[in-house]
Amino acid sequence: MVKTGNEKRRSRYKLFTASVIAGIAVNFVLSFISYKLDLPLYFDTVGTMGVAALGGYFPGILTAVSTNVFCSFFNEYSIYFSFIGIVTGVYTAWFVRNRYQPEVLRVAEFIAVSSLLGGALSTFIQWGLFNGPQLPSMITAVSGLSRITGGHPILIFLILNILLNIIDKGLSTGIICLIMRFIPEDLRIKISNAGWKQKPLEKHEMEKMNKWSSDVRVSVRVRMISILFSVSMELIVISGLILITLFPGVKQELFHYFFRILLILGGFLVLIMTYGIWYTGMYTVYPIDSIAMSIDEFIKAGDDQEKLDEMIKKIRSIDIHTGDEVEKLYLAIADMALNQAEQIRSLRRFSENTVKMQDGLIITMADMVENRDSDTGAHVQKTSSYVKIIVEGLKKKGYYAEKITPKFMSDVVRSAPLHDIGKINIPDKVLNKPGKLTPDEYEIIKTHTTAGKKIIENAISTMEGENYLKEARNMAAYHHERWDGKGYPEGLHGEVIPLSARIMAVADVFDALSSPRVYKSAFPFEKAVSMLEEGAGTQFDPKCVEVFVESLPEVKVVFRKYNKEVPRSEHGR
């Protein structure tokens, strides 16, 4: 049976609660046994270490403080030692996340550092509370060693405490490692992720998030810590003042009482602050940062529909379930992003339909011209296909990289059918004259370039933003210019000729050579290609010819397709 989202969340809460209760129970039982047997080993951090290793800082600290509260029922001094459990839990959680490796040296490092911290804290607390060791057996050992070695009792007590902690932490670590081996990995992951109010973040995701939010002047987490710390310290000071006011005799032992208050309330202060950090992080910081990062990436996706759809999935996958205003904000933003993506999809479809309509009009206009010119069967279709082959070849070879952008390629291919639009102004008797043209008639034919330029410039002036027509103008005006400057209408040369016109020149001439005309038969395919190569560097841009020749398999496909549709007996110019 597949669990719903709410069932999964309740399952996580149960795991979180169960792990903390289990950790407290283990600590309580082992500590009770140790206390009754008057052992110098406490074993009251085994559960804390296990919970911290699985669940992190807050569950570990909660287990530590709760353990000392419950253990005070049979050991009245236990409540003063919560700091040791807290430090052990914090170090365990940090070590597992940043240093842990299944190696002997790493485990030894953990035992050594945790023993040093636990031993030092235990010595400090016991000497501050009892002016010496708490257990009778330890008192005897310290005094005996002090007489034998002449060392200071505090130093001897510190060394003994550290050595005993090595045994305690070593056995505790061994127990934890043994238990961890028998806990299934999926259960460990569930316990580790139990506190999350969204999709759990991996370590690299948290690092990325921290880097992303590093420019925040004051974070919510810092504000929460400041408030909790200030309030807690005020309560401690007020408690001390109340104690002094109600019991004036306490002033003589003020330090001793204040030390006890600090130990008792300090543990709860750390727990409260840790809870504040954990709560703020899980319910506010991580959810809000996750939302903000996702929206930032959504905005950067621009109008790329594929990226937008991917970002919608990413936003949905955050799965924030704080049950408060943050969750409502998340759901509203997720819906807004989805609506935005759908609006962009609708606009794209509308734009695509508009482009198709425009392209259809271009083809219609080109066909109107071609139908007047009986000399150019399927000329528009063939030259457009050849232009596409050439511009893609230039792109592939890296030629004119600064010029050949995706937009340029699209503009050139879309505009190619309009290169002969100026022939609409040429009289039929000249355009369709059988036989060779007179010099005067040839001059009239040449005017189709300037006429085409004027027609398209008029269209550009009435269609703001339609920049693709600029390349149509260039091709219409300059596709009869030559690389050596001997073409028309302006005698441009080399790269001064617009690139789109240089591309069209190769496509246009190849189709003229390989197609029949009234004054000549069609040259064979190979001959037409050879004549293009001869004109490279004089009539044509050599790079355009190069990529055209290198793409002959594709050229042949176009040639065969349209030449089948054009009867060989058809004549014209």
Q: CA gyration radius for the chain?
A: 42
Tokens of 60: 């570990």
Q: Tell me the three state secondary structure of residue 540.
A: strand
CA–CA gap between residue 84 and residue 43 (Å, rounded): 12
Residue 16 has pLDDT above 70, yes or no: yes
What is the value of pTM for the model shown? 0.60
Task: Please tell me the chain's helix, strand, coil percentages from 3-state DSSP, rounded to the nearest 5.
Answer: 75, 0, 25
In degrees, rounded to 5, the angle at the alpha carbon of residue 276 between the alpha carbons of residues 270 and 279 is 135
The lowest-confidence range among 126-130, 172-176, 253-257, 328-332 is 253-257
| Domain 1-195 = CATH 1.10.1760.20 | yes
Residue 529: which H helix or E strand, with range? helix 525-535
Select the CATH number that applies to the domain covering 373-563 from these four: 1.10.1740.10, 1.10.3210.10, 1.25.40.20, 1.50.10.20. Answer: 1.10.3210.10
Q: What is the pLDDT of residues 121-167, one digit of tens each?
A: 888 888 877 787 877 778 888 888 888 888 888 888 888 888 988 98
CA–CA gap between residue 133 and residue 153 (Å, rounded): 10
Q: Which residue has the tokens 């890296």?
A: 398
Residue 280 has pLDDT above 70, yes or no: yes
Any bridge partners for residue 210, and if so which?
none
CB burial class (10 A; 0-12, 13-18, 19+) of residue 569?
A: exposed
Spatial contact of 107 and 53, defined as CB atoms under 8 Å apart: no
Question: Taken in order 28, 97, 265, 224, is the CA torsion positive or negative?
Answer: negative
From 482, 489, 481, select the one nearest 450 (Cα to Cα). 489
The conformation of residue 523, written as its DSSP 8-state character, comes to P
Spatial contact of 63 and 78, defined as CB atoms under 8 Å apart: no
Q: What is the pLDDT of residues 435-476, one digit of tens each?
A: 778 888 888 889 989 988 998 888 787 766 556 788 889 999
Tokens of 104: 């002997």
Q: How far is CA 317 from CA 12, 184, 294, 340, in A?
A: 18, 25, 11, 18
Q: How far is CA 224 from CA 206, 308, 415, 556, in A?
A: 20, 35, 62, 73
CA–CA gap between residue 159 and residue 116 (Å, rounded): 9
For residues 309-323, average pLDDT: 86
Any bridge partners for residue 517, and if so which?
520
Higher pLDDT, 519 or 127: 127
Spatial contact of 149 and 157, defined as CB atoms under 8 Å apart: no
Sequence spans of domains, the chain = 1-195, 373-563
Q: Mean pLDDT for the chain? A: 82
Spatial contact of 451 and 424, defined as CB atoms under 8 Å apart: yes
